[in-house]
Amino acid sequence: MTDRFTTLGSSFGYAISTEQRNKVLRNTYWLLALSMIPTVLGAWVGVASGIGQVFRGGLGMILFMAIAFGLIYGIEKTKNSAAGVPMLLGFTFFMGLMLSGLIAHTLGFRNGPELIMTAFGGTAGVLVVMASLATVIKRDLSGMGKWLFVGVVVLMIGSLINVFVGSSAGMLAISVASIGIFSAYMLYDIKRIIDGGETNYITATLALYLDIINVFQSLLALLGIFGGERD
């Protein structure tokens, strides 16, 4: 489970032009696409080296969250400087390392590569749908933020508890809830850019990236549970 606390400080309704809003949205999509390169590289390094196993278990999750919070703090501090983009790309490389444990586990299935591509395609599909909805919905969605935040907090607590309990049913419930909550967060974050509530494309990219990673890993976990084929 990744962090979403940094998105709550933004608000809707800034008086910026349509041209500026479109520029932020365009730059966000370009940087989001670029961020996938270090993510894939990090995942490859993690699978090849096995370093992703460091983040397994309770202590591993605490270590992951400590590093992730630190990097997110660094991104927020540098988002208006030349160091902002490299800091963000460094974070996405780290997230690739984190994902490598799940990816390595999935590759242990006979149909592992197909499951990964299905999860990737499904995540891309969710992003396209949420982006399309954000362009046609006229109402203000800023009120969603507090409820989605509560949902993320509950998910984080539930995930931490389930690390120690090791319940398959708990993992299933958390994965399903995560897909729903972070899909809604995609809509919320894109609509915030369109409405002028987010004017920094680095912060906007970070928010959307976290949505995508959470949907992807939750979807991949579900596919592994229900569709994984052992030799």
pLDDT along the chain (231 residues), means of 10: 42 62 92 96 93 78 88 94 94 94 91 94 96 90 87 87 78 91 94 90 95 95 83 66
Residue 97 sits at the vertex; the CA angle it makes with 201 and 76, to the nearest 5 degrees, is: 30
pLDDT in tens, 164-179: 777 778 888 899 999 9
User: Which residue type occupies 4?
Assistant: R
Contact 183, 215 (CB under 8 A): yes
pLDDT in tens, 177-205: 999 999 999 999 999 999 888 889 999 99
